[in-house]
Structure 1
Amino acid sequence: GATYERLEFLGDRAINVVVASHLYSAHPALRPGPLTRLHSLNVDREKLARAAVAHGLHLFLRHATPFLKQHAKDFAAEIAAYPVHSNGQVRAPKCLSDIVESLIGAVFVDSDGDNEQVWRAFRRLADPLIGPEMVGKQPMMEFNELCRGKMQAKIVKKDWAKSHTVKVVIDGETVAVATY
């Protein structure tokens, strides 16, 4: 059989294929970089968790996690400040995205691998999809794009400390330091 984890595995792959296919067809002028960014935003943990919460799917889970409903409620409150996507500002509970992946995996199995049926099911769950006009840039991505080809730049930080010091080093010279 099709266990939850096996359906999650299959659903993850099926979602990737149908979303990539849709974006490729819907945006013929987009270059690979922007297509990759759109794809990532439409299949990441946050997007899938948003779909689970929007449709109340977490309410139907049988589980032994006493705080799942509260985590979903907290997540829903946090994403309210970001109507489309938080660009990494909100951490989505993995179990919420797993629900959507396993559901799509079940659709894939029940439809004998019919990608059109998988797409229709995913589209209903994930609506609205994030389009090029809705994409915000992550600060690190924007920084890397700004520096690409012009200079050698890196961010240096130490994750283990209570307070973090971050340095921006360009061409071997520290140009900015911040502690948080």
Structure 2
Amino acid sequence: MTRRSGRTDLSGLETRIGHQFADIALLEEALTHTSVARTADGRMVNYQRLEFLGDRVLGLMIADILFHRFPESKEGELSRRLSELVRRETCAQVAENWDVGPHIVFGPGVARTASRANRSILADICESVIGAVYVDGGFACARAVVQNGFSDALEGSARTRRDPKTALQEWIQGRGGEPPRYALVERSGPEHAPSFTIEVIGDGVTPVRGTGTSKRAAEQDAAEKALVSLGLRKEEARV
């Protein structure tokens, strides 16, 4: 398909996005705000349809990346990471990194300076651009753009410290074991300030006990101690 454009050169933006469009009109559409009533040739075109598609494409691409990047993570952990990565704040930051602001086209009467810094609009543009890349280049191109554009967020997600119970369960089940069990050993103290002692038992884990002011806190403490005993966390990392 022949490249065409009635606008200023978008090659720099294409470089930052990581995709050269066969049909540059798709990128132009992805950058057109809903305040634009009609294009120069009388058509009703803005980023809404591409945003709709891009939202779904982004979710699929991130899910695909997480599925392969974290082979031992269970559905709950993958879902948590997915939600963090596709939230609008993350999308807005990606669009800001691409520096899409100067290229957004608004209709008359819109305060463009303020609008180009609007995080909601930037999030919309991020999704519409991803949708445009998918239409223009297909799955592989869209995945590459998402992989590169969301690389910082993906690295941050990989560094996110999971809660001890989740981490211990994933470690045990990743080795074919059953989920760990938590048994109440003792409850002491007055009603207004109780103290619980919980013992964790699991395949490949030496039983250890944790304490806390609630059963949940004691279970987390026991799981943290188990992780330390397995060499999966350092003693000073305890919570």
TM class, shorter-chain normalised? 0.5 to 0.7
Distance in 2 (alpha carbons) for counterparts of 1:133 and 1:121: 19
- CA shift for structure 1 position 40: 1.0
Structure 1 residues not aligned, in runs of 5+: 73-92, 138-180
- CA shift for structure 1 position 134: 2.6
* Residue in structure 2 matching 1:25, options 52, 68, 87: 68
* Residue in structure 2 matching 1:68, options 115, 132, 143: 115
Partner of 2:141: 117
Partner of 1:126: 150
- CA shift for structure 1 position 31: 1.1
- The number of equivalent residue pairs is 116
Distance in 2 (alpha carbons) for counterparts of 1:118 and 1:65: 31
Structure 2 residues not aligned, in runs of 5+: 1-43, 163-239
Distance in 1 (alpha carbons) for counterparts of 2:121 and 2:45: 18
Of the two, which has the highest radius of gyration? 2
Q: Which has the higher contact order (CA 8 A, sep 6+)?
A: 1
- The within-5 A match list for 1:15-164 is 15-63=58-106, 64-66=110-112, 67-69=114-116, 71=117, 93-111=119-137, 114-131=138-155, 132-135=157-160
The C-alpha deviation readout for 1:2-24, integer Å capped at 9, x for no partner, is 74100000000001111101111
Amino acid in the other structure paired with 1:42: L
The C-alpha deviation readout for 1:4-61, integer Å capped at 9, x for no partner, is 1000000000011111011111111001111011111111101110111112112210
TM-score, normalising length: structure 1: 0.57
Distance in 2 (alpha carbons) for counterparts of 1:7 and 1:20: 20
Distance in 2 (alpha carbons) for counterparts of 1:22 and 1:46: 19
Amino acid in the other structure paired with 1:125: G
Change (3 A) 1:28 1:135: same
Distance in 2 (alpha carbons) for counterparts of 1:58 and 1:125: 16
- CA shift for structure 1 position 130: 2.5
Distance in 1 (alpha carbons) for counterparts of 2:71 and 2:136: 31
Identity %: 28
Distance in 2 (alpha carbons) for counterparts of 1:45 and 1:16: 12
Distance in 1 (alpha carbons) for counterparts of 2:66 and 2:161: 17
Aligned partner of residue 153 in structure 2, secondary structure: coil
Aligned partner of residue 128 in structure 1, secondary structure: helix
The C-alpha deviation readout for 1:72-124, integer Å capped at 9, x for no partner, is 5xxxxxxxxxxxxxxxxxxxx2111111101011011112xx22111101222
Distance in 2 (alpha carbons) for counterparts of 1:65 and 1:130: 33
Amino acid in the other structure paired with 1:108: Y
Amino acid in the other structure paired with 1:135: T
Distance in 1 (alpha carbons) for counterparts of 2:131 and 2:45: 9
Amino acid in the other structure paired with 1:97: A
